[in-house]
Structure 1
């Protein structure tokens, strides 16, 4: 078995636990029930099914305050779910385009030269490998190319 070169991160479980405990997301909004069948769930990194109880929340992939911190809408399970095993590689149902990959430095700043667009049906892995080899890059945010919303983030395994 080969050693993974990166880890894949859904929304952190502590953020989701706080959301469920307080009834407020990172922007202070109450979670909104939403029929999101087929949309990616950012808690377990798979498409929502008709049986899933889904809510729409605001999420900030960069947790620390900075001018680069963006807050946007994402779908998650309304209640606890198994989450995503960060060492299991790219989520099979969310690893193709159309996607935009955006690389960030350890200070949270966006590296404009580390932005890639992956076309419809293309595997994002080659572009991720290229970006994660850029010196000083801390993580890559995988986003929808159409709605531009955050899907998950990827870090080098050594991070």
Structure 2
């Protein structure tokens, strides 16, 4: 069993309140075109709603594998999404999945582009490997971080 995990609420609230992003900058405020995925509620930000664009590093510390990249968040506080069901934001035809160890480094051989319909199954297979502590899901087109998958 797997669990889809959003960004931590405490960190999201800090940037929604104007705190700095991973690059030390204040998040940009933009208007959603209706296709922007919030990494906290794991829903698409409605067209016309205000959103934040910011740099995010989904790792606890700086190190060579700690990628940083752009994400979207609802500008107003939203409820954390996640759970066992495929989140709304995962609507593209395919995604990159990649396993990471407890040391937050890539576990080589675990990365692949997989069809969205097989995402849960593919993540579960990677989590069967004792070396894998968690899985990241990233955009297959732009490598943007989407969410984390943990053992259920």
Question: Normalized against structure 1, the TM-score is what?
Answer: 0.85
* Whole-Å separation in 2 of the counterparts to 1:126 and 1:45: 19
> Does the CA-based 8 Å contact 1:42-1:152 persist in structure 2?
yes
The correspondence of residues 46-125 of structure 1 with structure 2, limited to 5 A, is 46-84=43-81, 86-94=82-90, 97-119=93-115, 122-125=117-120
> Aligned-residue CA RMSD in angstroms?
1.8
The Cα offsets for residues 24-68 of structure 1, whole Å up to 9 and x where unpaired, read as 112211111223321211111112211421110111111223221
| SS of residue paired to 1:154 | strand
Aligned to 1:127: 122
Deviation at residue 116 of structure 1 after TM alignment: 1.7
Instruction: Indicate how the Cα distance of structure 1 residues 89 and 20 shifts in structure 2: closer, same or farther if over 3 A, else same.
Output: same
Which 4+ stretches in 1 moved above 4 angstroms?
none
Deviation at residue 89 of structure 1 after TM alignment: 3.0
Aligned to 1:10: 6
Structure 1 unmatched ranges of 5 or more: none
Structure 2 unmatched ranges of 5 or more: none
Deviation at residue 69 of structure 1 after TM alignment: 0.8
Question: Normalized against structure 2, the TM-score is what?
Answer: 0.89
